[in-house]
Structure 1
């Protein structure tokens, strides 16, 4: 496609700082570049500009933006006001009063593609590169060079940057666990995960961690408001029956003393149990071929009662096995598995489950898995 050559002319120079600037305000008070702002106050952010470079753009766009950056200067998300075309750009530049303050978050003229500020700050908890977020406020124009193609940015004003501390490793609060923990001894990121839309009442939220050998672990808090009657015994009972069902595909599995549809817990998300329709992973000792007594025994006796960091509950460990396809009966050892199901230290409505993942797990020693799980559990502050 042939594009018409478009003119892009920049006139004038930056004015002195007293005359030309982009400004930021928190709770109505101006914030200087390099300042530190509380995350609880960030929602009040407003921005304004005055005396930008004089420009003439035949075809292009102007963007007044607020960019949230991590420690590596990578953009987390950008909020912006964009004006397209000569008339809209010129009108915005000439007719926006210098005292006009734009609300950045919530209702206002700023647009966004992605998450809300509240979600950005919530999901940043436990992410090392987002321990402190930089907020960059700027204003630029770009020339249109083709269909939805633009040239380099030309800054109309000197950007302003300030800092927002988001979390403290000594007292990291994870809202979907309703827990504060000391992250000092936990390497890497704690990623917030969800299995559906944030607005759906059926969506479960939890946290995923990865040790130095890249073995994944999950930490979830199961709420008895969503699962009536839930407690450590009920959660342990549900897991061991679901895991036994998965380990015995091809066999008739009939639990006379337990209804598998009682809770329909998201074990796939918690630790990879029931990870797909083929279920290529299983726990070795829950196979009827390995342990013929399973059919007539109380499966809860497979657990070991525990108390760690003052939290009481149940522990189960096993070998993880894998097969190549759904019709294969050849199961091969691939890793180690361990799960702790524990009382919540402060919220009686919640039951904690801290577990290694079944899949992507080739660790050779269950002690390695157990050591990492105990680091997590012992980090809980109460």
Structure 2
């Protein structure tokens, strides 16, 4: 659209050519074409010659008009160039947003896969305990209710996996809508870099648009300046001469260099005012977005530090809870722990793993948000 706008501005420098046809009636004989005085004297002295005057005249011809110098045209073209730069910058930012969204969705997919793997591991662990419970129940060393409870725990694992599979399907569909690629599993990825503070590149489209609208104000003001135009006209007239009623045809052409000077243009003053208001409105939007992004950057940087710390803590906690689960299994096998207490240790481990994987996914999302704000190349951060 911006490219077309620039072409439209420059197209005003080309000639405008048109054809016309007309029938003229006048109550008194009217001139068909300008007649030099010396020629007119000869026509008056010889009545047999048709004089180029008539009440009824048929006219046809062509007109041409083109600017020699109109200052605003070049400013309008420069504005269109800025708008094109703004659109190109926005396209780049939108592409970065899509890439960041895909990375975030893939991080969620990895989180869900890790959760399913953790649940499968829990299922294997619970199944081994079920074997012990089955033996105990058969030997009447444990009540049948213990078997019901362990079966319920296994059912809950399957339900949790089913819920995650549904969410996975939704994430895969979103990735396909953005890329056109249908995934079955998450794509392996690793962080090879971090965001670079290159300024608020995400605001570049708006900044360029403001520059374009400032040029629009300039162009509207320049429309009040004098314009130099070239105007041409070719005329072919046919009529019956008023002095002897003979058919006569006349051709003439004119070429004019015209200086047009606006003296008072009320509508143009209103256009200038509207253009200034548009600039003020966009500048206000820019200031507001700058404030919002600065606050968002501060929050995201803080969140990133917290998430990195949480990741380390969860990893250590998982190691501890894994050891506690091993102890709980032995305690239950030796009848020093109830089935409910044992299952609680199983749940605690999976819950802690869930928090770790969710933290990793959130860390990816936070990193991508900062990369988009600073306009970083996602491929320099993720591989």
Bucket of the pairwise TM-score, normalised by the shorter protein? under 0.3
TM-score normalised according to structure 1 size: 0.16
TM-score normalised according to structure 2 size: 0.16
- The structure with the largest alpha-carbon Rg is 2
By percentage of residues, which structure has more strand? 1
By percentage of residues, which structure has more helix? 2
Greater relative contact order, per chain length (Cα 8 Å cut-off, separation 6+): 2
